[in-house]
Amino acid sequence: MMNVMDCLDKAGGRTEHHIHHDCLGRVKPMVTDDEFRSLMAGVCAPVTVVTTADADGPAGSTVSAFASLSLHPPLISVAFDQGSSLLGRIQGAGRFGVNILAHGQEDVAVLFARRGVDRFAAVRWQFENDLPRLCAASGWAACELYNDVEAGDHRLLFGLITQARRSDAAPLVYADQTYGTHSRFAVRSPRPITDQIAAFMR
């Protein structure tokens, strides 16, 4: 059976360009760009601002391609377009921070997705572990660059977490061009963990 990656059409300017062969040698079309985008638009994704710092100062960008990867060692993954300027700065610095935005920080997500603006001038932030940490984020991870692999038109960075912090703030999520949060986060009034354990034992 031919490998899917061996069948990718490398030519540009196409819509339906992914094909592979099944075990009988028949050509089977894969999804179109629009079908893939539509599918992924319906996936509820976390919203983060990934940051780094070097001799040119702080840098950061909004990233939703963020996921837990491994517990031992503690690894996360983030993905960047091959042409991302932040990607090159992270590769050079060898470390990066992940700010997991909180519900209500939609303006921060939009700010760090814009081009041609001084992103850090418009938000409260501080250096932590020599990395830019945004104030009021619901979570924070300081990472060493553990690995860096090509993944189609993106590069996938694996981060080894050296520091992790989390607040009680509900996380910001994004799907179908809409920001929000988990419905139960929005209305919850957290009980002490001892009360939750007692409830499970009944």
Instruction: In whole angstroms, give the CA distance from residue 57 to residue 12.
Output: 35
The residues with which 128 forms a beta bridge, in sequence order, are 131
* 56-92: pLDDT as tens digits: 999 999 999 999 999 999 999 999 999 999 999 999 9
Would you identify the CATH topology of the domain 45-201? Pnp Oxidase; Chain A (2.30.110)
Residue-wise pLDDT tens digits, 109-143: 999 999 989 999 999 999 999 999 999 999 999 99
DSSP helix/strand/coil, 8 = strand
| 3-state secondary structure (DSSP) of residue 48 | strand
Tell me whether residue 172 is exposed, middle or buried, using C-beta atoms within 10 angstroms of its C-beta: 0 to 12, 13 to 18, 19 or more.
Answer: buried
Contacts (Cβ under 8 Å, ≥6 apart) of 151: 79
The pLDDT of residue 44 is above 80: no
Supply the pTM of this predicted model. Answer: 0.76
For the chain, what are the domain ranges?
A: 1-41, 45-201
